[in-house]
Amino acid sequence: MHNLGGVYIIWYRDMLRFQGNRIRMIGSIFLPLLFLFIFGSGLGSQMGAIAPGVNYAQFIFPGIIGMTVLTSSFMAGISLVWDREFGFLKEILVAPINRAVVAAGKTLGAATVSLIQGAIILIFAPLVGVSLSPSTVAILLALMFLLAVAMSSFGVLLATRIKSIEAFQAVTQLLLFPMIFLSGVFIPLQGMPHWMSILTKISPATYGIVSLRQIVLRETSTTILGINLLGHNMSLWNNVGVLAVFGVIMILLAMYSFSRQE
């Protein structure tokens, strides 16, 4: 019970910090919308139809949702590094709870914040001609939370190994931006050079972005907007399975690594 209470307290602290930071809330929504409408309008006329009945703005809409969740959740570790530098982490580590609980609480807190930010972007679906039923929204929220947990735990894992905010920002930017551009947020995965195609399949974010796109666009043909892995056209459940396995591995590694903190 102490451990469950510890998870809740750490999660609740992240909720309060997010709620009290209005600039962060506005900024986290403004940038994705800027990408959505500037890229969607500016490049849409140049790109034409990406798939039958799918224009460029509709194509990047689920990608922007995934990018919002990915960016917010992956930066989860920076608050952990901040707590370490300013001494708050030491107070947590001497609390009578399992240290792995701290990693779990930080992961869930960051994932919840990322889910809220991604859910707000869903409101703008009608503006780009995307129709979402209540059942589709429910599925999207579940998938967004899975992506958020997977990437938040990855960020927490990095934070257990990196000791300064400056170093963490440098490493996350080095990893985050290639993941965004190689996961198919802005461009289709088909037709990429062979070496780039290999990198897209290595990136775990790709499977989350493609899954969101398959749900939003009701893409049943995996050969058009999906992933071809080792000659196999990945279905929605294949992509979700890869993302879930990655998430489980990352959160277990994050909990183990945090339990070894001094």
Q: How confident is the model over 12-40, as pLDDT tens digits? A: 877 887 776 677 677 677 777 787 777 76
Q: Which stretch, 181-185, 225-229, 242-246, has highest mean pLDDT?
A: 242-246
Average pLDDT score over residue span 64-74? 87
Q: Is the pLDDT of residue 8 over 60?
A: yes
Residues 74-122: pLDDT tens digits? 777 777 777 676 666 665 666 566 667 777 888 888 889 889 988 988 8
| 235: CB partners within 8 A, 6+ apart | 222, 226
Length of the chain as a residue count: 262
Helix axes 204-216 and 236-259, enclosed angle (nearest 10): 140
> What mean pLDDT is predicted for residues 3-18?
75
Most confident of 56-60, 90-94, 210-214: 210-214
Round to whole Å and give the CA distance between 68 and 85: 27
CA 98 to chain centre: 27
